[in-house]
Structures are given as C-alpha cells and as structure tokens.
Amino acid sequence: MTKEVELFYDFRSPYAYFASQRLALLTDVGVAITWKPVSASALINLQAGRDPNDEVLDPLCPPKRAHFMADIFRLIEYWRIPFAVPQPTPPVCDLAMIIATRLDAEGIEHDRFRMGIFEAVWQQQKNVNDPYVVRECLEASGLAPEFVDAATTEFENLWTDNTVAAYTAGVFGVPTFRFDNDIYFGADRMELLATRL
C-alpha cells in the first residue's frame, strides 16, 4: 500500500533543494510525495508574529548565520549533491513559486518543472524570478510558457494563504515532511521518516 507524505517547500531554500535531490530515500520505500508550495519568508514572519507579507528580517544571530552557511557546504560534500552558489544570493524565486502554486491548485502535473527550477537555481545559477528563465523551464518540462503571464495577484495571495494554513498546522520551515499529522523538518530528517515508513 502506497503511503502519502506531504512535502512543504520553497525553491529559495537550499535545504529544500537538498531534499529534492534525496527523494529516493522515500520513494524507494513506496512513498508518494505530495508537494506543497509555501513561502519560506512568510513562515519566518509568522514565527516572529509579523504579517506574512512584511519585509523579512534575518532571524539568525551572527554565530548561527555563520554556522548555517558552513553547514550548507558540509552537507553538499557529505551528500555529494551538485551545487553552485545561486545568483543572485539569496535567490529570489517568487515568480516560480507563484506559478508552482497555480499548477498545484489546478491539478497540473509539474514534477519536471519543479526539478528544473531547483536545478536552475542551485546548479545553473539562473535567476528564476526572470520571466524569460521561467518560460524556458516551463517549455523544457512540456508546459505552456504562457503560465508566466498567469502569475497573478490571485495566485500570489493563494501562495500566502496556503503558507498561513501550513503554519497553523505546525509547519514552521522548509523542507517539512508531514505524514499522519507528524512533522519531520529538514532534509537531514529524511532517514528517520524513511525508517518509520
């Protein structure tokens, strides 16, 4: 029997990218992944009691920020994941996330688009807030490039609403895996979830 796991993600998160590269840990034990696009920035604001659309203030103190950056490169080496420092840094992925939100809402399969965006940001150093780049990713995945023009306020608001709903349900960062109402946060918790499943 296939087990279903929700995966909450944002393209701008290196850890969500790492999770996308390690999915075989779950799929090899018969898990079906349901991807849920949320805003990492809105989650940070919600944790601080701010409006989800406020400007994001860095929640990390300098020592924790330094550890965070060092940890990214340790994991890349340990997991042997292809990686290039994104341009710009930090990456801005709002356009791609709004399109992913629309595709998800309309039930349009877009696994190839999702993986193409992750690779564009974290391997190819492309700016996925550039409509031209996102059109390329859509076309390469067999989807209509016109979806770029469909990134409207309606779906931007839906992206925010979905993030607020996820936060209310216990999601506080990305990537988050949810199975049977239990939360597993981080690409480094995938082994724990795989063992359980």
Q: What is the mean pLDDT of the chain?
A: 95
Any residues with CB less than 8 A from the CB of 153 and at least 6 apart, and which? none
Tell me whether residue 76 is exposed, middle or buried, using C-beta atoms within 10 angstroms of its C-beta: 0 to 12, 13 to 18, 19 or more: middle
Q: Predicted confidence band at 58 (pLDDT cuts at 50, 70, 90)?
A: confident
pTM: 0.96
Mean pLDDT within 44-73: 92
Map out the domains of the chain as residue ranges: 3-196
Taking the C-alpha atoms of residue 40 and residue 44, their distance in angstroms, rounded to an integer, is 6
What superfamily would CATH give domain 3-196? Glutaredoxin (3.40.30.10)
**Confidence (pLDDT) at 75:** 96
Cα gap 125→42, rounded to integer Å: 24
CA gap 78, 57 in Å, rounded: 30
The whole-angstrom separation of Cα 75 and Cα 8 is 20
Mean pLDDT of 86-111: 95
Please report how many Cα atoms fall inside a 13 Å half-sphere around the Cα of residue 81, on the Cβ side.
Answer: 25
- Least confident stretch, 18-32, 56-70, 157-171: 56-70
pLDDT in the model for residue 2: 82
CA-angle at 178, arms to 11 and 91, nearest 5°: 10
